[in-house]
Structure 1
Amino acid sequence: MLEIITSGAIPQRHGFFTRKGGASSGIFAGLNCGFGSTDQAEIVAINRARVAEAMGVGADGLLSVHQVHSAEVVTVTAPPGGSVERPRADAMVTRLPGVALSVLTADCQPVLLSDPEGGVIGAAHAGWRGAMTGVLEATVDAMEAIGASRTRIRAVIGPTISQAAYEVTEDFLQNFLTEDPENGRFFANGQNGRYQFDLPAYGLHRLRGAGIGHAEWVRHCTYGDPDRFFSYRRTTHAGEADYGRLIASIRL
């Protein structure tokens, strides 16, 4: 059985899928939806087909991008035809019914957005780099360009790495302080001269600064719950060769 985390803030069909209910095995055990992993491609396709079915679309209707930690946003205006190469971007928006926008994560923030009255939705992949360079604001701008009103937009951050699990260096901290001295609020002192970064709080700050109507985090940490979530950082600490990718999706 698939496990799907949802939010009452978004009325459209949507979900942050956990790793439960998939066909993958070994270090990818569960619902690994990342073709970029070294998992068997045919097994990943089975997992993605299960997600598509849960979202009420065909396998071709589960849309994704080639994520590159950028602020690039794709506006989907027509159903994809045949085998189309995925654009290099980190967010999608649409007002097109019958397709499901999706993003993959394994500690980064999956963000689903909706303007229910305007009939516009969005999905964004926002790690620290993408969030800092403006992918969330760019997604809101792209939604507004096709008819959304930013004051009506609701955004939900799905399972992501929490502050307690996100240890960073002095250089990382300085990078954020250079961008904005007020960013110090998202860091706490850690051990051995390191710091703990609050990625979801930073994401909420960027979303609210964009002037949207509502923003929330589902408050699930990917690092701390290995039975439910894949985690790049946990895999690195365990010395494993690769990691699965979680999927989040939304449709009109």
Structure 2
Amino acid sequence: MTLEIVTAPALTGLRHGFFTRKGGASSGVFAGLNCGYGSSDLTEAVTINRDRVASAMQVAAQALVGVHQVHSANVVTVAAPPETAVEADALVTATPGLALTVLTADCQPVLFADRKAGVIAAAHAGWRGTLAGILEATVAAMVALGAQRKDITAVIGPAISQRAYEVGDEFMDTFLTEDPAFDRFFAGGPNGKPMFDLPGFGLYRLREAGVGNAEWTRHCTYSDPTLFYSYRRTTQLGQADYGRLISAIRL
């Protein structure tokens, strides 16, 4: 099966992609392009899937650079593939030939580029990381490599949308304690519980960080099981595990 990859016109000229689950070797609950070694999927299947991603990105498999994601605001700047896993949630580079990658299954995958400076980044931004400042930290790390905020384009890929993201009052209170104005990212849901706008919050944080262009592809991971893995959907269905989507960008 052919890979199906979401790309962003705003990143035209750079090889990148928000890979869907189409075109993979995994089966069962992981059916498709599961790229997470942290899942209970067969290691061999995940390796085949990642090899297909590397081929699509036109790099060797070892040039797919990722981190051990921990829902933090930690960013790592790389000039070569790290020899050991680094705990972080974003990567930045100015080195051609490296494909920066993040894994998601409802959280926001965010790809960044300053074409003029030749600096790119990829971030994993769930609600914890976004609230903690992962997006601002990624932009700052790009600036440290020579990027200009006004020249940075940031694209949020497939993520859980507000219409599918029911949360509790304590969750909302965590945000309102940080800033009461964050109430605009919550709406009343059909069950009387708040619905959180994660991509909307991500776009706000990116724009506040001064990036020249920030947008969302407007794909909801929860709502399209044929294209996307979703942690929340898997949990609601009572399944034992879930696949991880990969997003990548390279100079």
Residue in 2 aligned with 1:69? 71
> Partners in 2 of 1:97 and 1:50 — Cα distance?
20
Q: Please show how residues 126-205 of structure 1 align to structure 2 within 5 Å.
A: 126-205=125-204
> Partners in 1 of 2:94 and 2:191 — Cα distance?
49
> Partners in 2 of 1:62 and 1:77 — Cα distance?
12
Runs of 5+ in structure 1 lacking a partner?
none
Matched residue SS, 2:140: helix
> Partners in 1 of 2:100 and 2:233 — Cα distance?
27
Q: Deviations over 1:40-74 (max 9, x none)?
A: 11110110010001001001000000000000001
CA contact (8 A) 1:204 1:216 kept: yes
> Partners in 1 of 2:96 and 2:4 — Cα distance?
24
Residue in 2 aligned with 1:245? 244
Residue in 1 aligned with 2:92? 93
Letter in 2 for 1:234: R
Residue in 2 aligned with 1:112? 111
CA contact (8 A) 1:168 1:195 kept: yes
Runs of 5+ in structure 2 lacking a partner?
none
CA contact (8 A) 2:75 2:141 kept: yes
Tell me, yes or no, if structure 1 residue 4 matches structure 2 residue 12: no
Residue in 2 aligned with 1:78? 80
Residue in 2 aligned with 1:24? 26
Matched residue SS, 1:9: helix
Relative to the length of structure 2, the TM-score reads 0.98
Matched residue SS, 1:160: coil
Q: Deviations over 1:145-191 (max 9, x none)?
A: 00100110000000000000000000011110011111000000113
1:85: how far off? 1.8
- Tell me the matched-pair count: 249
Residue in 2 aligned with 1:232? 231
- Identical residues among aligned pairs (%): 67
Letter in 2 for 1:158: G
> Partners in 1 of 2:80 and 2:69 — Cα distance?
20
Matched residue SS, 1:15: strand
CA contact (8 A) 1:230 1:245 kept: yes
CA contact (8 A) 1:170 1:193 kept: no
1:79: how far off? 4.2
CA contact (8 A) 1:113 1:153 kept: yes
> Partners in 2 of 1:246 and 1:235 — Cα distance?
14
> Partners in 1 of 2:81 and 2:187 — Cα distance?
45
> Partners in 1 of 2:85 and 2:248 — Cα distance?
16
> Partners in 1 of 2:46 and 2:81 — Cα distance?
22
> Partners in 2 of 1:9 and 1:118 — Cα distance?
16
Residue in 2 aligned with 1:56? 58
CA contact (8 A) 2:80 2:98 kept: no
**Cα RMSD, aligned residues only:** 0.7
After superposing on structure 2, the runs of 4+ consecutive aligned residues of structure 1 that deviate more than 6 Å are none
1:87: how far off? 0.2
> Partners in 2 of 1:99 and 1:45 — Cα distance?
18
1:193: how far off? 3.4
Letter in 2 for 1:154: T
